[in-house]
Amino acid sequence: MRGDGRIKLRGRLYSIVYWLNGEEHTEPTGQTDEQEARKCLRLRMKEVHATEIGKGAFITPKMRKLTIRELCVPLRTYFENNRMASPQNLSYLRRVEQDFGDFRAVDLTMDDLETYKQKQRADGYADATVNRVLEMLRRAYNRAVSAKRFNQADVPTFELHHEDNTREGNFTEQQLADVLANLPDYLQDFTLWASQTGQRKGELSQLTFGMLDGDVLRIPGSICKNKKGRVLPLTEELKKILARRKAARQIERDGTVEVCDLIFHKDGQRLGQCQKEWIRAVKAANCPDRIFHDLRRFAVTNLVNAGIPQSIAMKVSGHKTQSMFARYNIELPEEVREAMEAVWEKRMQAKGAKVVSMAKRG
């Protein structure tokens, strides 16, 4: 009868055929006897019926074979169809595929997740970064459940690290100099610029020479976390960095010279997380607890210490809440330029000597 499934003979062996959630499933029984095959079918149909009325969760053969890499496919499609394929989302999704892709989805356990968290922390990754990866993994499972490709009962329990979002890490001038000295060439100017402007790494990695407009940099809202564009005046130190970056624009590939439009790049490609290079540099500088985002705090602290009003400091770093943007939605390039120049002078006075000034290592 309809809904009872059926058996099917393939050569000498029987298979069973049944429907679950509107999808047909065929499963080998390994039986040559018809009556034994019917017993397998009755057992399977009990599990199917229990699943349909909510009293059980049956794992189909297809679910058992499903890898986490395959779970990520519909989530990526969802992002692309709903204009959510941001660099950040795609970056964390790639991390899920890289770190968990070969796991069978039904086999991933809480112990596996705890081991992963411990290893990531030992490798120097922040709790917040690990949490974002695990949250993306959970979204992949939930998307599969919504599409009826997976059972909710088989989704592992996700316990995230407790996060203290208060930023307390900061650099000293000497630590910054030591970190810069231990970074590869292509990351030195990138880091020095961040220490001057307080820009976020994701925003900084997308700056192009096309954004230059005279002696200001017009940063479009499309690359900013808060989606609000702003103008960044170029101080003398920033101009020196740009001069070095212009000299590094030409990239040779297969005997052909190309000009890269990215201000900061590695062999013409946009800079990624660069986590390994950063961890090596801060360890060598004897400040292993410093993360790249601390440069943002470093820059803002210097602005405040130089007596710059908070509203102007926010113009430099891009810190803008809704209310703050509504209040200060005015471009003040000259005031911002003076603020940044004042910071540089303050730092030079504090050291009593030349501050960190990077030149290309020959």
Shared domain check, 81 and 23: no
Shared domain check, 81 and 192: no
**The pLDDT value given to residue 335:** 61
**Residue 43 within any structural domain of the chain:** yes
Shared domain check, 342 and 210: yes
Shared domain check, 193 and 84: no
Shared domain check, 198 and 323: yes
Shared domain check, 330 and 261: yes
- Domain of 135 in residue numbering reads as 65-154
The last residue of one of the domains, among 124, 154, 184, is 154
What type of residue sits at position 44? R
Q: Which of 18-22, 234-238, 269-273 has the highest mean pLDDT?
A: 234-238
Distance, in Å, from the CA atom of 94 to the CA atom of 72, rounded to the nearest integer, reads 9
The answer to which of 96-110, 159-173, 225-239, 277-291 has the lowest mean pLDDT is 159-173
On the question of pLDDT at 243 being above 70, the answer is yes
**Residue 245 within any structural domain of the chain:** yes
Residue 89 CB partners (closer than 8 Å, separation 6+): 79, 136
CB 282 within 8 A of CB 155: no
- Average pLDDT on 346-361 reads 60
Q: State whether residue 30 is helix, strand or coil.
A: strand
On the question of pLDDT at 362 being above 60, the answer is no
**The pLDDT value given to residue 50:** 63
**Residue 161 within any structural domain of the chain:** no
Shared domain check, 102 and 32: no
Q: State whether residue 22 is helix, strand or coil.
A: coil
Confidence bin at 322 (pLDDT 50/70/90): very low
Domain count, the chain: 3
Is residue 194 exposed (0-12), middle (13-18) or buried (19+ Cβ within 10 Å)?
buried
Per DSSP, the residues of 323-353 read HHHHH--S--HHHHHHHHHHHHHHHHHHHTS
Q: Which residue has the higher pLDDT, 191 or 306?
A: 191
Shared domain check, 105 and 204: no
In whole numbers, what is the pLDDT of the chain averaged over residues? 81
Enter the tokens of residue 325: 């943007």
- Average pLDDT on 3-16 reads 84
Beta bridge partners of 104: 67
Instruction: Please give the share of the chain, as a percent, with pLDDT higher than 90.
Output: 28
CA angle 183, 187, 190 (to 5 degrees): 130
Q: Residue 262: give its domain's CATH number.
A: 1.10.443.10
